[in-house]
Structure 1
């Protein structure tokens, strides 16, 4: 360091070099990095260019010996004047390390951290040693779910967060490094080493007895109108039905009479979570008004004044009411001493500063910075851990914004955020809404509610080349909703061919409403599984033309009560490829206005458990058999009865009998035989017997002599006889014929051979019997018809 620099009241040290200060101007203020422009005399400007960012110490000494040291960094160097001797007057910009935060702009989302932790981390990532930090906080600060820095430099980000909580920052020097203090109460601000600063208009003047007394050269008392009350109002997303509202009156103890008592300032949408936060912010805003309502400005030569310190004033020479302890809010420094260092042509001025003060008992709060100019909407992507959308219990998402320096794990880069939806439930007890889930890597747009970066919300999603829009130039006539699972709702606005289609993956289940002008139609299809139609009450199906049903397997209808099929004009046709079955637990009634026809290609069988009645009300009844026989069989009586209005006739091939209406019976035929063990006639009998032809004369024939006598073929024993049991219709021992099983049977041939047994099935084998022409076969209690075969 040169001798001139050592003797100067203002000098600067940059590394190992010392410089005489020709002049300086600068300002230090609470919550701002100090900045000074210092003019020095340098031998080489080029050597200074390599010192950008290097530590700098600026020393200022008051006439009364109190010294001030500022430790900062060199941020800029520029040549002001080149001197004839080869030296240069160089302007060096010296600033607090806090200014480094202005050089770093970022977009990041910080999760689950307290405000002090965010402050410490932000300062340290800009090269500020953690040992140089002093967090002097009186309050406890909760964990913040998420904190967004959106295109802000780190300093604006930090001041925005701390200002909302009433925190403020000042700097101090310790040896060769800078100390940063962060506090939330003025009680943590230190007193200056100088015990008292007195109002002395001529302070600082040099005398022959030594330096003069340093005091206040001038005082300016300033007052300003402020709102009488501050309100904060917000709505929290978890309880929108309960507004958050709190107010705080400005301190009226020292308020000027001209303050309007009815004025108020209302701040809405501060991102408050509860009533306590609202009360705290209302207090902070009211205290900020108190800080600017009344301030005191002083001009001095006291170089040791610094922002963030407490100074005691004696203003008795100016005003008895202004004395007391004050917090130094800001200090502006100026000095020019070119002439003192042998340089002419510059107007010199002694070191002077102007300080702005507020009373110590007034809690000082910084200006609450508004949110910087944020992008109205910025890009992000949804993150999920699997194929399904990852939502929390409130339907909120995790996302990662672009760009983002956050290194958090996948799906953990943000707190859960809400999504803007076309419709939501009007009340907690009435669940309703419209939500199409967003999946991993969906590109989305993020906006901030009330322009608060800490209240992000999803406002929409975007298509991109990796995730094409479902509507493009190829199908611009469609309005389409297609989900990740392949469920598709398409509303087609093609002229004269409008249609609506709703289908599942690959169209396996589909509803198609086609309004084609050439033919409207509706299709409901389940191509892979079942379909069920259900109506709690009436279900109606109407067809203006043909109704066709095609069933590939069975068709079953189960009806609780009545079932009816009615045609208004033509016939009803039921057709089966094999059997047709009509059954009823009670009655079956078939009725026609004209003819009723039953046609069978083969047999027709009526199996009736109880009675059968056929009644012809007006005309005739006809049973006609083209080929074959008619058999009427009854286990008991068979009765044929007329009502006396016509004959009953049984006739075949010219023979038969007639029953006249009066009851007379006539038997007629070429030959009539009556055969019985006994025939009895009762009543008058009239008979006519025709004489037979004459018997010819008889004679004696010659006796024949037998050569030999052999058995007749019919008298030879038969190997076996097979008797097949079947009913009248040729059915072998079917279901209704099972009653024959176990019944005894008896066989008797005309040669006298007899056999007996019990029926086991429909075939009876009999062997070792002699038959000439015929045999008798009987089953107990059963009448049989013995065939000729």
Structure 2
């Protein structure tokens, strides 16, 4: 207190210190104003000996006003005014303001996204240099981040005052006497008022207050307040959710009426029954506004002489006070007035204190933007060719006024765009791309409710309709999809086009890209496929309809023409019936005319009054499931330069009513046969047979010539002639010789063809054809079985297997041999291929022995289960350890000669049908399929399932076995491409060959007493009995193999077991980091122990890559090794070349494998944990590089 008193002399009550200034001020008088949510302001008059104070010595200087009563005011000087100067001193006035006042000198437009109100305020304050000690948030609520807060032509002070007032946050000022600065306190509840401010209520005696701190002269004002506040808003994000809230805060005020506020800025309605609704909900804003209304219901004014009174305090007058003062007064405004020659006068304004609601600053309305603002569509990628939209079809934009730098695509919130039309599943949306100028409008002018009003052209994006083409109406997308409508008189046209395939619909006056005329009328064109589809019917006409007058489906002219021709055809049918010729099916044409063409019921009708032409550069095909009728009122001419064929499943009739029927051949022979019936020639008049050369009549049994009752009969061993009258012979000489006969020329007639019978109503076979069915099903039934059955009910099952060289190389994977590696086998044989008659015909002598020809692509299979009636050698691709084969027991052979119908034939696929399916890639139906699965002991087992009609399991792939004359065998190679054939069949073992069935290790047997076929249950995934769950259909690996017609071999069903090395996989493992000076493939490592690991630098390159097979993986490993000189530096040039080509390098002689039939010289890649035991195929930590000698030792010696 002594230090404080030292600042004041006997006459000085107030001291003004201006920091960093030479000005010495003597306070003359002052007025001060402090209020809640306002920067304070003190106007101070002072005198100084300085006659001309420079403004820079005062302005923007921190200053402090100290009072003897203990109050200090710290602020910044914002104004200096010179009043007068005398001989002794000069008279000035300055304004000492809160530092927040300086925010009023910055006015701007800015955008804040995804920040709460307190966060925005803090960001603005810190931008002006205010730090942690300069302001403090004392908030009881947590405020949500807003999608958008906009500052529009406001000072920073106006901006923070406005947004704080929206959410009811008030602020007051405290003085930090230690640092000589003012501190801003921001609060939102009564808890942050300053309590325990007590002063006696004492009326002064006259003008003398006794110098004791007190308050006096209370005055009060009471007003009626609004009783209820109701709010409603609309949020398009939740368009159907109610957004109503109604709040009435309890109070002692007299209330009436309802204040309805529409479009208050909130997202959720909130709980309007809660005293603490969710922050910034509709109920929250309704409560804030009602509290603001209630704060205006009562006002209190007091006088005081106490300097330390300040807004935000709860003043509790002591003594005999009125009711309005008993709970205390919240000070909202305090003014001060003092002078060097007068005491301090304090005027206090406030409202009664209550715990029911809090003081809320007066709401400051948001600035309005009545028009639009320019902006540009923004994408996350510069010059993005596609629109950047969210799941609601909204855009990101960058406002032209926004100067803040943000990442592309994040400069503004997602905005809706106003459209010409909008509906639940309808509307208009032409997406806008990056850089497009748009106009941003605001709902009700609210700066925080923007939307895209429209798109605009500018100098960078000029309008595509200008004075140069002002007659056009154009809708065009960035990819040049276009709707163009030309209004120029005499050249009107419409063009609908897309760049893909140059597909266009042009109508009217058609022009090219230069505007030059290219035709008139209508054009539908594309470089891609074209389709015209009309579900009810299609009418295509060249009949004129001038000026589009008349019905669109006016087809009277076409129907009359068809009707007239039908009547003519009926007359021809009557004539043909009288002539006992084959009648035409005119009734079906009349029925089609009445039921289809006349009402245009799912029919295509094409008409042209002057002609119609169909032309094709290659082929033309007319097809109908029922009838094809060709009628002409004049002639029908058919001319071909090649062959003309007419095929009929039943009858073929030719009838000429009044003219001749001419059948002539210019050079070739005329061949007429009745293959299974008689042939008759009859003429009402003369029948003439003539030849410029010979005429030969031949009959296998007899020939009889009859004329006018006389006859001549020629038959085996006898010639007979007779007549009723005379017999005249006119000859020059008659000669007799010994008996002789001339045999008739043999004519071979093919057997009758068979055709499947179809249901004429459904156009499907009467019986669903299958490859195999259970023998328990009766004839004519091809349904699937429903009970467990043995495989013998379906056919003859046999299982073949091929040896496994080792668990690393895989099934059938013999040691690879280079061109210079010699492999010798005993072989001498003549090759044979079945001829058409089933006999064995010699094949070319230079062909290789059949089993040897399997080579690296296929391996010889050995029968290990079941019986097999065919003689020959089965081969399968490397990596196929097992093949199961079944020949259908009930498959009906081809119909023999003289057989018109074979019972049960229509139950099964014809071989030719299967061949056609194999050519087109179609599947064939069967009622049983098989697959492989390991049992719990790891043994391979075969399981069969019934395949029901309509299920995905009933169709099996078909494949044609093609004869390879070079290898003397039948082969099937998948269409998707393979290194060689998948399945081969050599009809019989070559004669004289000493080659065994296989050259590998022992074949793993199939230990299975019988193979059962089981129904697939509906809940197959829950079925616990093996083999279920049944594999997905796409995972079944089976085929129906069809052999050529002349092979004599019936179709065979096969199912294959894939090797895990042929299953695609992903490379894993880390490899091993190499150390030491020894070469990493040194013989001491690769020829003993477990071999050399995969180096870590190779594993790092290949990890995560996907491979179709282990063969591809192995080749890639060597390729990658070749790219690392540190790994190949010890290899020879030859080995380096091999490694770069993906081949294993040669090993020194001591590491080679020398066997009885082969020599292996190359390094191998070995699986440490065998694949059959669960070892990873593509796990590089499971791989070792070994010599062939060590490889053999690991698998066969240890």
One fold, TM greater than 0.5? yes
Deviation at 1:38, TM superposition (A): 1.2
Distance 1:359 1:623, change over 3 A: closer
Aligned partner of 1:220 in structure 2 is: 219
Aligned partner of 1:491 in structure 2 is: 485
Deviation at 1:504, TM superposition (A): 1.6
Contact residue 382 and residue 438 of structure 1 kept, 8 A: yes
Q: 1:392 aligns with which of 387, 390, 393?
A: 390
Aligned partner of 2:282 in structure 1 is: 278
Aligned partner of 1:549 in structure 2 is: none
Aligned partner of 2:540 in structure 1 is: 541
Deviation at 1:321, TM superposition (A): 5.1
Distance in 2 separating the partners of 1:631 and 1:121: 104
Distance in 2 separating the partners of 1:198 and 1:534: 97
Deviation at 1:397, TM superposition (A): 2.3
Deviation at 1:677, TM superposition (A): 10
Aligned partner of 1:524 in structure 2 is: 524
Deviation at 1:651, TM superposition (A): 9.2
Counterparts in 2 of 1:120-519, with a 5 A limit? 120-175=122-177, 176-191=180-195, 195-202=198-205, 205=208, 211-255=210-254, 259=255, 261=256, 263-274=257-268, 275=270, 276=278, 277-314=281-318, 316=320, 319=322, 322-337=325-340, 340=341, 350-361=343-354, 363-374=358-369, 376-386=371-381, 387=384, 388-426=386-424, 431-505=425-499, 508-514=502-508
Counterparts in 2 of 1:659-670, with a 5 A limit? 664=708
Contact residue 151 and residue 374 of structure 1 kept, 8 A: no
Distance in 1 separating the partners of 2:195 and 2:232: 38
Distance in 2 separating the partners of 1:690 and 1:123: 144
Greater per-residue helix proportion: 2
Q: 2:85 aligns with which of 71, 76, 82?
A: 82
Distance 1:243 1:470, change over 3 A: farther
Distance in 2 separating the partners of 1:512 and 1:55: 79
Q: 2:726 aligns with which of 662, 685, 698?
A: 685
Distance 1:332 1:376, change over 3 A: farther
Distance in 1 separating the partners of 2:500 and 2:634: 54
Counterparts in 2 of 1:581-660, with a 5 A limit? 615=655, 617=657, 621=660, 640-643=681-684
Deviation at 1:573, TM superposition (A): 6.4
Distance in 2 separating the partners of 1:169 and 1:359: 18
Distance in 1 separating the partners of 2:372 and 2:401: 13
Q: 1:59 aligns with which of 66, 90, 100?
A: 66
Aligned partner of 1:97 in structure 2 is: 99
Deviation at 1:47, TM superposition (A): 3.4
Distance 1:203 1:453, change over 3 A: farther
Distance 1:314 1:484, change over 3 A: same
Distance in 1 separating the partners of 2:505 and 2:729: 92
Contact residue 115 and residue 146 of structure 2 kept, 8 A: yes
Distance in 2 separating the partners of 1:269 and 1:602: 84
Aligned residue for 2:388, secondary structure, equals coil
Distance in 1 separating the partners of 2:366 and 2:610: 82
- With 607-616 and 264-273 compared, the bigger mean Cα shift is at 607-616
- With 197-206 and 382-391 compared, the bigger mean Cα shift is at 197-206
- With 629-638 and 142-151 compared, the bigger mean Cα shift is at 629-638
TM-score by length of 1: 0.70
Deviation at 1:4, TM superposition (A): 7.9
Distance in 1 separating the partners of 2:666 and 2:375: 93
Deviation at 1:620, TM superposition (A): 6.2
TM-score by length of 2: 0.48
Distance 1:624 1:465, change over 3 A: closer
Distance in 1 separating the partners of 2:239 and 2:101: 41
Deviation at 1:110, TM superposition (A): 1.9
Distance in 1 separating the partners of 2:668 and 2:166: 115
Deviation at 1:30, TM superposition (A): 0.5
Distance in 2 separating the partners of 1:299 and 1:584: 109
Deviation at 1:133, TM superposition (A): 1.4
Contact residue 199 and residue 215 of structure 2 kept, 8 A: no
Distance in 2 separating the partners of 1:402 and 1:568: 62
Distance in 1 separating the partners of 2:64 and 2:9: 13
Contact residue 230 and residue 250 of structure 1 kept, 8 A: no
Distance in 2 separating the partners of 1:464 and 1:19: 61
Aligned residue for 2:504, secondary structure, equals strand
Distance in 2 separating the partners of 1:609 and 1:227: 97
Write out per-residue CA displacement over residues 479-508 of structure 1, whole angstroms, 9 at most, x where no aligned residue: 222222221222333334333222123992
Consecutive unaligned residues in structure 2, runs of 5 or more: 271-277, 511-516, 546-591, 598-602, 693-705, 711-716, 734-744, 748-835, 838-1198
Aligned partner of 2:42 in structure 1 is: 36
Aligned partner of 1:23 in structure 2 is: 29
Aligned residue for 1:32, secondary structure, equals coil
Distance in 1 separating the partners of 2:223 and 2:604: 94
Contact residue 5 and residue 20 of structure 1 kept, 8 A: no
Deviation at 1:251, TM superposition (A): 4.2
Distance 1:689 1:68, change over 3 A: closer
Deviation at 1:580, TM superposition (A): 8.6
Distance in 1 separating the partners of 2:646 and 2:250: 111
Contact residue 215 and residue 302 of structure 1 kept, 8 A: yes
Aligned residue for 1:162, secondary structure, equals helix
Cα RMSD of the aligned pairs, angstroms, is: 4.3
Is 1:7 aligned to 2:25, yes or no?
Answer: no
Q: How many residues of Structure 1 are paired with residues of Structure 2 in the alignment?
A: 634
Distance 1:615 1:404, change over 3 A: closer
Distance in 2 separating the partners of 1:399 and 1:380: 6
Deviation at 1:509, TM superposition (A): 1.7
Distance 1:663 1:282, change over 3 A: same
Contact residue 374 and residue 438 of structure 2 kept, 8 A: yes
Contact residue 29 and residue 307 of structure 1 kept, 8 A: yes
Write out per-residue CA displacement over residues 551-576 of structure 1, whole angstroms, 9 at most, x where no aligned residue: xxxxxxxx9x9999886866766778
Deviation at 1:640, TM superposition (A): 5.0
Distance 1:24 1:611, change over 3 A: closer
Distance in 2 separating the partners of 1:140 and 1:628: 105
Aligned residue for 1:512, secondary structure, equals strand
Distance 1:529 1:20, change over 3 A: same
Greater per-residue strand proportion: 1
Distance 1:572 1:293, change over 3 A: closer
Write out per-residue CA displacement over residues 645-703 of structure 1, whole angstroms, 9 at most, x where no aligned residue: x56678999xxxxxxxx97599xxxxxxxxx99784533217598999xxxxxxxxxxx
Counterparts in 2 of 1:721-760, with a 5 A limit? none
Distance in 1 separating the partners of 2:359 and 2:157: 20
Write out per-residue CA displacement over residues 715-754 of structure 1, whole angstroms, 9 at most, x where no aligned residue: xxxxxxxxxx9x9xxxxxxxxxxxxx99xxxxxxxxxxxx
Distance in 2 separating the partners of 1:629 and 1:144: 94
